[in-house]
Amino acid sequence: NAGVTQTPKFQVLKTGQSMTLQCAQDMNHEYMSWYRQDPGMGLRLIHYSVGAGITDQGEVPNGYNVSRSTTEDFPLRLLSAAPSQTSVYFCASRAGGTDTQYFGPGTRLTVL
């Protein structure tokens, strides 16, 4: 049971490039979320999903897209990277009817 996995661990992009941050969980959790963490700002919710085929926006969704075609996977797409998207990105999941969220190890993204 690997829990929540994220790839890549580190990524450097140039402004305007696109990429997808991968997130997968093997716990059959219904709920999945993406957060970004910036110094002095705590974690901010980008997008979340309450089940396969259902997604919704969080606090800071601009510049990011998500989809949830399977229960296991919840990729986060940056369409045209900007320096303001330099951050650490965390994916999380939890089971319906429970309160505990499990977080992945994070992806450290730098946009030049």
Dihedral over alpha carbons 9, 109, 94, 26 (to 10 degrees): -30
Query: Of residues 1-60, which lie at the interface with another protein (CB under 8 A)?
Result: 4, 31-33, 35, 40-45, 48-50, 56, 58-59
CB 16, min distance to another protein, A: 29
**Residue 5 to residue 22: CA distance in whole angstroms:** 8
Residue 101, phi then psi, degrees to nearest 5:
-95, 140
Nearer to another protein (CB atom), residue 62 or residue 97: 97
Looking only at residues 71 through 110 of this chain, which bind another protein when binding is defined by CB under 8 A? 90, 92, 94, 96-106
